[in-house]
């Protein structure tokens, strides 16, 4: 192994700057963001938690078809949005609603697909957020393509491509890393390792020392970070984005976190993990940890916390109002957005449906 290749390897342990008790942890490579940045992050975390829990409740009320919650993983979501510049791109998975909202997407629009609509609900170009990808890792080659195009155009754009631990077992993940490394695409692969690919534990997915170690096989620099430590995430992910923007090529960051709730409302997590395991991770909650840290530094007031709670209430109310409105679907939409210029077959099908609807109306 050459000295250059050793520089690609991640740390032996995930980078941590604030421990689970809220105590600062010294690190010779990364510094914690200042209090103002962390206060803004705490507010975003509290809003994110409320968004997750409100969306989960709306599933039970039949207003959402499904919701893959990021409860417990909110620090990863918030950091992904905060380290990017307005001109950068985010490529989210189905679990990354909070990250999309962090980029400015309206929460109601961000949940359109999970409500059961036929479109993603927002204009991807407006906020530079690609549609949420449900198939595992298929968004990664797309993200690399956007990053490579930015490089060819000499644009300062960085693309942050999100995936889970299960996504690293997919062929798209490996093809994306290889292409990005060969062509020096300015992309950051952000792996949220939440320990389970639906019901499959990490030990049954990979024998690698860590998921970040998969980067060196392709020549991609990698790092590991505590995914429930807001300060460490901002530092490590921010550095990865800076390096990609400065021409150092693709970067891989693995965040060690935990999915506190079931995979979705259709899943029974008690069938594959026990309560003691969940309780251990509850003690590493990202909100509790950051709140404790800021209180110890006298940087967090009761008035500020009340303001954060009020902001979370407003987002939840907006979500309820938006998703409780019934939308009358237009059958013509089935054909209107398939091709810019409809094919003869599509026009024929549209005419057939229109004729049937017309006759049903006449019969009614």
Residues 171 and 200 in one domain: yes
Range of the domain at 345: 332-362
Structure tokens at 288: 């509790």
pLDDT tens per residue across span 67-107: 999 999 999 999 999 999 999 999 999 999 999 999 999 99
Residue 8 lies in a domain: no
Is 123's pLDDT higher than 70? yes
Residue 88 lies in a domain: yes
Complete edge-to-edge strand list for the sheet that includes strand 221-226: 89-91, 159-164, 187-193, 251-256, 221-226
Question: Which helix (H) or strand (E) element contains residue 148?
Answer: helix 139-152
Residues 93 and 229 in one domain: yes
Residue 14 lies in a domain: no
Better-predicted residue by pLDDT, 51 or 4: 51
- How far is Cα 293 from Cα 289, in angstroms, rounded to an integer? 6
User: What is the average per-residue pLDDT within 174-190?
Assistant: 98
Residues 69 and 185 in one domain: yes
Residues 342 and 286 in one domain: no
Give pTM, 2 decimals: 0.94
User: Is the distance from CB of 80 to CB of 158 less than 8 angstroms?
Assistant: no
Is 48's pLDDT higher than 80? yes
Banded model confidence at residue 362, pLDDT cuts 50, 70, 90: low
User: What is the average per-residue pLDDT within 133-157?
Assistant: 97
pLDDT at 103: 97
Classify residue 4 as exposed, middle or buried by CB count within 10 Å of its CB (0-12, 13-18, 19+).
Answer: exposed
Phi-psi region of 103 (alpha: psi -120 to 50; beta: other; left: phi over 0): alpha
Residues 309 and 352 in one domain: no
Structure tokens at 327: 């939308």
Residues 147 and 242 in one domain: yes
Residue 20 lies in a domain: no
User: Cα–chain-centroid distance for residue 251?
Assistant: 16
Residue 27 lies in a domain: no
Q: What is the CATH number of the domain that holds 222?
A: 3.40.50.970
pLDDT at 116: 87
Residue 204 lies in a domain: yes
Is 343's pLDDT higher than 60? yes
pLDDT at 101: 98
pLDDT at 326: 85
Residues 245 and 356 in one domain: no
- How far is Cα 97 from Cα 117, in angstroms, rounded to an integer? 15
Q: Is 159 helix (H, G, I), strand (E, B) or coil?
A: strand
pLDDT at 2: 61
User: What is the average per-residue pLDDT within 44-57?
Assistant: 97
pLDDT tens per residue across span 192-202: 999 999 999 99
Residues 151 and 242 in one domain: yes
Structure tokens at 354: 């229109």
Residues 201 and 116 in one domain: yes
Say how many Å lie between the first and final Cα of the chain, rounded: 77
Q: Is 144 helix (H, G, I), strand (E, B) or coil?
A: helix
Q: Percent of the chain, pLDDT > 70?
A: 98
Domain count, the chain: 2
Q: What are phi and psi of 160, to 5 degrees?
A: -105, 115
Residue 200 lies in a domain: yes
Is 340's pLDDT higher than 50? yes
Banded model confidence at residue 364, pLDDT cuts 50, 70, 90: very low
Residues 122 and 158 in one domain: yes
- How far is Cα 350 from Cα 346, in angstroms, rounded to an integer? 6
Residue entry with tokens 């449900």: 134
Residues 92 and 154 in one domain: yes
The beta strand positions in the chain, using DSSP E, are 89-91, 159-164, 187-193, 196-197, 200-201, 221-226, 251-256
Residue 96 lies in a domain: yes
Residues 345 and 199 in one domain: no
Q: Percent of the chain, pLDDT > 90?
A: 89
Phi-psi region of 335 (alpha: psi -120 to 50; beta: other; left: phi over 0): alpha
24: which DSSP letter? Answer: B
């Amino acid at each position: 192994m050459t000295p250059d290749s050793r520089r690609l390897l991640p740390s032996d342990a995930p980078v941590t700057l604030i421990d689970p008790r809220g105590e600062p942890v010294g690190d010779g490579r990364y510094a914690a963001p200042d209090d103002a940045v962390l206060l803004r992050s705490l507010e975003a975390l509290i809003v994110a938690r409320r968004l997750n829990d409100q969306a989960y409740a709306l599933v039970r009320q039949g207003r959402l078809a499904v919701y893959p919650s990021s409860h417990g993983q909110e620090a990863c979501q918030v950091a992904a949005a905060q380290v990017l510049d307005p001109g950068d791109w985010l490529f989210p998975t189905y679990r990354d609603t909070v990250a999309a909202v962090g980029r400015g997407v309206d929460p109601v629009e961000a949940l359109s697909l999970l409500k059961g609509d036929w479109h993603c609900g927002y204009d991807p170009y407006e906020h530079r957020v690609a549609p949420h990808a449900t198939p595992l890792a298929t968004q990664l080659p797309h993200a690399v393509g956007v990053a490579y195009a930015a490089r060819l155009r000499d644009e300062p754009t960085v693309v942050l491509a999100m995936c889970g631990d299960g996504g690293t077992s997919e062929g798209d993940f490996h093809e994306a890393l290889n292409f990005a490394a060969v062509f020096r695409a300015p992309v950051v692969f952000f792996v949220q390792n939440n320990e389970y690919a639906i019901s499959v534990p990490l030990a049954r997915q990979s024998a690698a020392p860590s998921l970040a170690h998969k980067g060196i096989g392709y020549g991609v620099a990698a790092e590991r970070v505590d995914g429930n430590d807001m300060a460490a995430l901002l530092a490590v992910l921010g550095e990865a984005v800076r390096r990609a923007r400065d021409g150092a090529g693709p970067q891989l960051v693995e965040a060690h976190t935990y999915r506190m709730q079931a995979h979705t409302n259709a899943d029974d997590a008690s069938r594959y993990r026990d309560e003691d395991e969940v309780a251990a991770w509850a003690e590493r909650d990202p909100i509790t940890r950051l709140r404790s840290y800021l209180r110890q530094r006298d940087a967090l007031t009761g008035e500020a916390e009340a303001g954060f709670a009020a902001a979370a209430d407003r987002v939840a109310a907006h979500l309820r109002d938006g998703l409780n409105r019934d939308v009358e679907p237009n059958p013509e939409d089935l054909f209107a957005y398939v091709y810019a210029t409809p094919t003869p077959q599509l026009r024929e099908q549209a005419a057939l449906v229109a004729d049937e609807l017309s006759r049903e109306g006449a019969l009614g």
